[in-house]
């Protein structure tokens, strides 16, 4: 939620005013939605070359922006759209210094919906492959959200790289929220995390602590954590993770996915498994029933079996897995930056599938009727690299068996009910 400037300053955060030397165009650019933890409130952030005040106009209402700068020659603006109804489309535009953007629209996520589709990427950047991934996302009109498991623009101190990155994604970021975890490349030489903070959440106005937070979407409690800050037991982040993972209502969100940057499990030779991370957090994730951990950092794709302490806990049935046994870990750091091709040999037992010279994104579909998530890993050439399904029901007791040998038939309750009715009629 947008809190008054005075409040932000009380938190020890100072919003830097923009210098009078910023006299360029006040045409809004780099416009992007920022999802809050309240479905009735959506924030929007944009940038202008010139210093100005701004506002957002939506559904016949207007709200002023907070305007601020950091050590880069652009002015930033963040404003809140409030009183929104989940599931109902909102049309909006943003303005600064009398210049307005075109109109955009988005639909606030209704966490009680029975269907949700989203895309996850990691290690993006601005290569031609990264742009192919972006184009795939932008053209995906059914996706309702994008997550990034860190290493976002690879600006690495060159702030105009962020400007270009946001402008390239604007077509998607103005209509669906992109929700991010920080990677090591968000900790920039000479800037630290300041650019990330200012471009995704002006000084902690959306989150009191923007490096770890959670969001509920249909079927899934999503945790965004930082592998780039202290996560050891006893740390603030660990305490937060423990509290957040303990508070999940599985009736509402049967699945828990943790997004972070460095992987607990990776058989890529470039970085490999982040063992300190595994030592610090794996036990907690297993104890709290985390279903999936989605990381990046190693620029390849890998999926583990449900695993704990490097020991495979389950091998599922075909491409189907039941939640509640142990987390499956994905490394999806191949959204464009580069490909780390050298793999550890032999392939560790916990590694179920890996792919080391392709680029792409992972797409998830939650189906509330059968309470399962389908995962598909798409390559930029349009082929599919990996597919699996995570279901709430134990294997052997539900949709996985099929019915009368028809896969998925047992899950189809309306059909089953018709079948039951037919049997009753026959009696």
Q: Phi/psi at 295 (nearest 5 deg)?
A: -115, 180
* Minimum distance of Fe ion from residue 32's CB (angstroms): 21
Judging by DSSP bridges, how do beta strands 213-217 and 220-224 pair with one another?
antiparallel
Nearest to Fe ion of 271, 320 (CB atom)? 271
Instruction: Bin 6: left if φ > 0, else alpha if -120 < ψ < 50, else beta.
Output: alpha
Nearest to Fe ion of 58, 265 (CB atom)? 265
**Residue 184 is a binding residue for Fe ion (CB under 5 A):** yes
Which has the closest alpha carbon to 125: 270, 393, 335, 279?
A: 335
3-state secondary structure 173-195: HCCCCEEEECCHHHCECCCECHH
Nearest to Fe ion of 43, 149 (CB atom)? 149
* Minimum distance of Fe ion from residue 121's CB (angstroms): 11
**Residue 219 is a binding residue for Fe ion (CB under 5 A):** no
| String of contacts with Fe ion for each residue 105-144, x by CB under 5 A | ------------------x---------------------
The only residue of 183, 219, 260, 348 in contact with Fe ion, by rule CB under 5 A: 183
**Residue 263 is a binding residue for Fe ion (CB under 5 A):** no
Nearest to Fe ion of 183, 336 (CB atom)? 183
**Residue 203 is a binding residue for Fe ion (CB under 5 A):** no
Alpha-carbon gap, residue 219 to 115, rounded angstroms: 8
* Minimum distance of Fe ion from residue 183's CB (angstroms): 5
Specify the DSSP class assigned to residue 17.
P
Q: Residue 128 CB: number of other CB atoms within 10 A?
A: 9
Task: Compute CA distances 6 → 13, 18, 43, 118, 280, whole Å.
Answer: 9, 17, 19, 36, 37
Specify the DSSP class assigned to residue 378.
E
User: Which of the ranges 83-91, 290-298, 302-310, 399-407 carries the binding residues for Fe ion, by CB under 5 A?
Assistant: 290-298
The only residue of 151, 188, 282, 302 in contact with Fe ion, by rule CB under 5 A: 151
Q: Residue 307 CB: number of other CB atoms within 10 A?
A: 25
**Residue 260 is a binding residue for Fe ion (CB under 5 A):** no
* Minimum distance of Fe ion from residue 166's CB (angstroms): 18
Nearest to Fe ion of 266, 351 (CB atom)? 266
Query: What residues contact residue 276 under an 8 Å CB cut-off, 6+ apart?
Result: none
User: Which of the ranges 22-30, 222-230, 295-303, 368-376 carries the binding residues for Fe ion, by CB under 5 A?
Assistant: 295-303
User: Which of the ranges 56-64, 148-156, 213-221, 382-390 carries the binding residues for Fe ion, by CB under 5 A?
Assistant: 148-156
Instruction: Considering only residues 296 through 355, tell me which ones interact with Fe ion, judged by CB under 5 A.
Output: 297
Mapped onto helix, strand or coil, the DSSP state of residue 232 is coil
**Residue 188 is a binding residue for Fe ion (CB under 5 A):** no
Strands (E), 107-183: 115-121, 146-149, 178-181
Residues of this chain that interact with Fe ion (CB under 5 A) are 123, 151, 183-184, 297
């Amino acid at each position: 939620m947008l809190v008054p400037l005075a409040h932000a300053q009380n938190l020890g955060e100072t919003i830097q005013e923009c210098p009078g030397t910023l006299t360029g165009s006040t045409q809004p650019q780099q416009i992007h939605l920022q999802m809050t933890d309240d479905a009735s409130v959506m924030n929007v952030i944009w940038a202008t070359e010139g210093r100005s005040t701004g506002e957002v106009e939506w559904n016949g209402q207007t709200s002023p922006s907070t305007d601020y700068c950091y050590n880069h020659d652009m002015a930033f603006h963040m404003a809140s759209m409030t009183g929104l109804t989940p599931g109902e489309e909102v049309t909006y535009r943003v303005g600064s210094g009398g210049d307005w953007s075109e109109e955009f629209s988005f639909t606030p996520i209704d966490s009680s919906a029975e269907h949700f589709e989203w895309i996850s990427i990691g290690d993006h950047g601005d290569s031609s492959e990264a742009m192919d991934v972006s184009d795939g996302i932008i053209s995906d009109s059914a996706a309702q959200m994008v997550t990034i498991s860190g290493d976002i623009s690879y600006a690495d101190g060159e702030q105009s790289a962020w400007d270009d990155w946001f402008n390239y994604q604007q077509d998607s970021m103005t209509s669906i929220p992109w929700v991010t975890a920080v990677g090591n490349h968000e900790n920039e030489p000479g800037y630290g995390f300041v650019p990330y903070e200012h471009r995704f959440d002006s000084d902690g106005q959306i989150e009191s602590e923007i490096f770890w937070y959670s969001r509920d979407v249909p079927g899934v409690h999503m945790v965004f954590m930082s592998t780039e800050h202290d996560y050891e037991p006893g740390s603030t982040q660990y305490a937060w993770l423990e509290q957040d993972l303990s508070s999940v209502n599985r009736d509402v969100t049967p699945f828990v996915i943790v997004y972070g940057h460095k992987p607990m499990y990776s058989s890529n030779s470039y970085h490999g498994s982040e063992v300190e991370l595994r030592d610090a957090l794996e036990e907690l994730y297993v104890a709290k029933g985390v279903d999936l951990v989605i990381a990046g950092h190693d620029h390849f794709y890998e999926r583990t079996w449900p695993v704990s302490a490097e020991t495979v806990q389950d091998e599922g049935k075909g491409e189907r897995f039941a939640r509640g046994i142990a987390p499956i870990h994905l490394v999806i750091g191949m959204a464009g930056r580069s490909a780390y091709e050298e793999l550890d040999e032999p392939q560790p037992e916990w590694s179920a599938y890996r792919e080391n010279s392709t680029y792409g994104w992972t797409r998830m579909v939650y189906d509330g009727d059968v309470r399962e998530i389908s995962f598909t890993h798409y390559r930029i050439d349009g082929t599919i690299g990996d597919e699996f399904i995570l279901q709430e029901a134990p294997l052997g007791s539900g949709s996985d068996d099929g019915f009368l040998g028809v896969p998925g038939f047992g899950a189809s309750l309306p059909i089953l009910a018709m079948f039951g009715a037919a049997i009753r009629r026959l009696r």
